[in-house]
Amino acid sequence: MYNDSVAYPKRTTSLSKPLLSFLALFAAWWLLLLFFNRFPQVDLSVARAAFTGMPCDPGSPADEICGMFAYDRNPLFTFLRTITLALPYIAVLVLLAIPVLSWKRHGAFWRTPLVDRCIAALVSLTLGCGLIVNLILKAYSGRPRPRSTDLFGGALDFVQAGSFAGKCLRNCSFISGESASAGWLLCLVLLLPPRWRLPLGLPLAVISLLMPTMRVLTGAHYLSDAVLGWLSSLVIFAAVLTAFGLWSSRSPQPA
């Protein structure tokens, strides 16, 4: 049921905007995947720029590559990652609290546009970062992380984005879970009151871009993993909003 005074007094909300956003983002995701798959040198060039080569130990094979991703041991990056990893959990607690508070305040008419968007955000996080990214793609893609490939001091062969031929067995590189979380955080700007979207949205956007950047610079992911992971949350969020809009438009209107 809906609060007639604050929820949906008229069910005339157009579904065109979230639907068009979903279609555009969905197409962009696949086009970017095709680009990275066809031009793997983009991933390799960015990874090489972040990798610092070093002399190998005496007696090492002649073709062995030694070195490290220097930012992987940067104390500032470690500190920032600790903070950014906590942000999605904090956001989830807030999103769970809003429907509960609405129910206590409005009773049977607890569903409001804000509550629906909070539920949509939680559903998109569960489907995207939880199911699609971590439980399916990262578990079965087989793509080794940069630091695990023989091009950057590891032992596994490089495979391009979209290939499932890699030898990684678990928690693989395609696609980046933290980048997906970062993209999801940016989507939460839509839940903010209009007057707060600029002052809070700007730092949130910076954090959202910083998280995947750190993953690339530390050798945890290739550029394609970060970009496609980040964009995947926008795609799924738009899809869930479209579904919720369709569901709301077909729900019985309050008397």
Tens digits of residue pLDDT in 228-248: 999 999 999 999 999 988 876
The pTM of this model reads 0.88
Q: Report the C-alpha gap between 120 and 45 in whole angstroms.
A: 38
Q: What is the mean pLDDT of residues 187-213?
A: 94
Q: What is the mean pLDDT of residues 213-233?
A: 97
Alpha carbon 55 to chain centroid, angstroms: 36
For the chain, how many structural domains are there in total? 1
pLDDT tens for each residue of 58-72 = 877 877 888 999 899
Type of residue numbered 84: T
154 part of a folded domain = yes
59 part of a folded domain = no
63 part of a folded domain = no
223 part of a folded domain = yes
Residues in Cβ contact with 132 at an 8 Å cutoff, skipping those fewer than 6 apart: 232, 236
62 part of a folded domain = no
Q: Give the domain range for residue 118.
A: 16-52+68-250
